[in-house]
Amino acid sequence: MKILLLEDDILLNAAISTYFTSIGHLMTSVRDGNVCWDILEKEEFDLLIFDINVPNIDGFSIIEKLHEQKRMIPVIFISTHANIEDISHAFELECFDYLKKPFHLKELSLRIDRISQIIPIKRKHKRLSSCYSFNTENMTLYFNNEPQVLSKRQSKIIEYLAYNRGIVCSYEMFMDYVWDDVEVDIATIRAEINRLKSHLKEDFITNIRAVGYTVKIPHS
């Protein structure tokens, strides 16, 4: 699952991120509500794990803003507060769970597993064009349901574009995710993506001049 974590406690944030990355989830972690909202305006996520009292915009307010935009993303609230008012408000916002700190990471994992059983991860198989799709579970690109062979880096490029369909992914975003902050210039990114595009039977990756690349969300 692609998970966005909002937790302002440095140690807890790191512990959750490290643990869930180690068991195969794609984690993005932030400690500030404004930063969290900026990311949500640019990316899609399968699940949100939100502390409530964080700097700037609190966890409840972010979910309210998402609902105003008709965006319903499963959320688990984690908080030191156990008062009935906060718990009631969390469930009024249609959260899937409310976990009081401190908690064991395995307990959080069990609750996430439960969500994945209740709501099949509909974004697991992402359509990229009329013939291409990408399975985020096995990291495989398919052409007319036939698996395609890609290098590890090319798979990460497709994965990132697939998760962010309809959004322009900047060169800086590719540097952070695909190249893991390794020093790389824009020319290298362009060359790698051009190599990938040369292997495609249907070109669904659009270059946005001087900015980056995007994949449009195909019409149903």
The mean per-residue pLDDT over the stretch 111-119 comes to: 77
Closest CA to 98 of 80, 116, 117: 80
So what's the pLDDT on residue 114?
A: 81
Q: Which residues contact 49 (CB under 8 A, 6 or more apart)?
A: 3, 4, 5, 6, 7, 16, 75, 76, 78, 108
Q: Is the pLDDT of residue 109 over 70?
A: yes
Q: Is the pLDDT of residue 120 over 60?
A: no
Domains identified in the chain and CATH numbers: 2-118 (3.40.50.2300), 125-214 (1.10.10.10)
**Exposed/middle/buried for residue 63 (C-beta within 10 Å: 0-12, 13-18, 19+):** buried
Q: Is the pLDDT of residue 183 over 50?
A: yes
Band the pLDDT of 26: cuts 50, 70, 90: confident
**Exposed/middle/buried for residue 161 (C-beta within 10 Å: 0-12, 13-18, 19+):** buried
Q: Would you say 86 and 93 are in contact if contact means Cβ atoms under 8 Å apart?
A: no
- Measured over the CA atoms of residue 189, residue 153, residue 181 and residue 31, the dihedral's sign is positive
Question: What amino acid occupies position 179?
Answer: W
So what's the pLDDT on residue 220?
A: 47
So what's the pLDDT on residue 155?
A: 92
The mean per-residue pLDDT over the stretch 69-92 comes to: 86
How far is 35 from 56, CA to CA, in rounded Å?
9
Residue 102: is the preceding peptide bond cis (ω within 30°)?
yes
Provide, rounded to the nearest whole percent, the portion of the chain with pLDDT above 70: 94
So what's the pLDDT on residue 131?
A: 86
Q: Is the pLDDT of residue 123 over 70?
A: no
Please give the C-alpha separations between residue 160 and each of 44, 148, 176, 177, in angstroms, as whole numbers: 11, 17, 11, 8
Q: Would you say 4 and 40 are in contact if contact means Cβ atoms under 8 Å apart?
A: yes
Q: Strand order in 75-79's β-sheet?
A: 26-30, 2-6, 47-51, 75-79, 97-100
So what's the pLDDT on residue 61?
A: 94
Q: Which residues contact 55 (CB under 8 A, 6 or more apart)?
A: 8, 31, 32, 33, 34
